[in-house]
Amino acid sequence: MRLLVAMMKHETNTFSPVPTDWRRFESWCLHRGEAVPGALGGTNTPIGAYLDLARGAGADIATPLAAEAMPSAPVERACFERMVETIVEPAAKGGFDGALLDLHGAMVVEHLSDGEGALLAELRRVAPGLPIACTYDLHCNLTEVMVENSTVSIGYKTYPHVDMYAVGEQIGRVLLRALAGEVEPVQAWGRAPLLAQTLRMGTADQPMKRLQAMAEAEEAGGCLAATLFGGFPLADIPDAGVSALTVADGDRARAEAARDRLLDAAWSAREDFVYRHRLLTETVAEAAGLEEGPVLLLDHADNVGSGGTQDVMTVIEEVRRQGLRDVAVAAVWDPAAVEAMQSAGVGATVTIHLGGRTDMPSVGLKGRPLKITGQVRVLSDGRWTVRGPMYTGMEVHTGPTAVLESDGMKIVVVSRHHEPWDLGIFTSVGIDPRVTRYLILKSRIHYRAGFAPIAGTTLTCDGEGVTTSDNSRLDYRELRRPIFPLDRINEF
């Protein structure tokens, strides 16, 4: 048996000004050929599971590409076409019994809205009978083209995504069983007219906790796979929003019925998918009165894990204005500030303009640096390994990194974007977050993977940025309408 194993992942924020080119993938995860198993084998990822399954089945494995970039603007056309060509080229030569693909499901390209669908359609064109298994992120914006050009598919059931290996193993086994003639998978999919807020998709919270339990119940009741996707609402494309995908063994009626139950339940919970805002000044004032730490302050409107610039200083500035002390921040993206601190050296006192390097025309914001004086406490190469439950075993490289301490606040400043979902963002530079009173995290929900176990209280800080949960700041032009809550539709 010969299997094609590949990864192509990007969550595209069409409102983001952060470019997505080949270097963007290189800065997080880009491996080719024989380097792929060495880099991603043994990691808590779908491709890690695929590699284990293929080896266990005694298969000959081809690994042309494993590419993932931090969320940002639409992928440049040349970059996308290079990735697709790299994956498709070996398939076009023939000789494969199946393909195992680790995808995201929310990739938008400069010239098209459905990157994954385009990849799968091209694979089907060059290898019409090739059985294909796909894993998708919980924030997948599922499309008809993606479903029609795959054999079996599944999405994560956890947010933070700590089950990536598990779902890869699950759907990979389904494909192997299909190749052995043990099952005949049929897929059913559909979507609701619902644009859910990412902050309301945590699977430890309602309504997602209940909906994912329903998906698990569908699998326990006979479905080979069942997924309720929250979708990615920061993509201005026709297919953004909540959807469901189910896989049954030769029984289309079962798959369709399971799909409908999931979609009906999601629509019934539509009001629970709306995030309610609060004044930033009020949230920080509440934090100042809390006794038990660490208090997590989520700067979610500038979350690089959803395409943020990671250099908006609004929340940091308000925390400083209100005089909170014993604060650690992860992280501010500012390569120029890191370079200045490297030139000054550890122990030096510097005055710099921190952050605010990026304009955000889609939400009418100009970059606004914060002038700050402090001491350079740490300089680092930014290399460390994830030890927590999300992306376990993955190597992180935040580029040249520094810690600036000013007025009771330690700010981790990085040269490469990275969302803080693991304690390593602090411990790698000598900060112990477990004994720090306040932690400002530029994250939405993924922070829970590493930080929820140590948190005293968690507060969402409604700052500024292109990952805002305030839909009134976003100018949707391509999204299908009507859709809730942008349109207060009351019927399904």
Residue-wise pLDDT for 271-283, tens only, equals 999 999 999 999 9
Per-residue DSSP letters for 296-354?
EEE-GGG-GGGT--S---HHHHHHHHTT--SEEEEEEE-HHHHHHHHHH-TT-EEEEEE
CB 176 within 8 A of CB 148: no
> Which value, to the nearest 10 degrees, does the dihedral of the CA atoms of residues 10, 429, 316, 198 take?
30
Sign for the CA dihedral angle at 83, 117, 308, 68 comes to negative
Do residues 164 and 44 touch, judged by C-beta distance below 8 A? Answer: yes
Nearest partner of 19 among 75, 81, 70, 69, judged by Cα: 75
Query: Could you tell me if 50 and 172 are in contact, meaning their C-beta atoms sit under 8 angstroms apart?
Result: yes
Whether residue 126 contacts residue 92, with contact meaning beta carbons closer than 8 Å, is answered with yes
C-alpha 4/C-alpha 54 separation (Å) is 9
Q: CA-CA distance, 456 to 436, in Å (whole number)?
A: 11
pLDDT on residue 492? 42
Which among 319, 332, 450 has a CA at the least distance from the CA of 402?
332
- Per-residue model confidence (pLDDT) at position 472: 84
Q: Give the integer Cα–Cα distance in Å for 2 and 440.
A: 48
Q: Which of 221, 243, 224, 223 is nearest to 233 (CA)?
A: 243
Q: What are phi and psi of 37, to 5 degrees?
A: -60, -40
The secondary structure of residue 389, as a DSSP letter, is S
User: For the chain, which ranges sit under pLDDT 50?
Assistant: 492
CA 382 to CA 300: how far, in whole Å?
Answer: 23
Q: How many C-beta neighbours within 10 Å does residue 291 have?
A: 8
What are the two backbone dihedrals, phi and then psi, of residue 331, each rounded to the nearest 5 degrees?
A: -140, 165
pTM across the whole model? 0.96
8 Å CB contact between 449 and 477: no
Contact call for residues 337 and 415 (beta carbons, < 8 A): no
- Spatial contact of 326 and 437, defined as CB atoms under 8 Å apart: yes
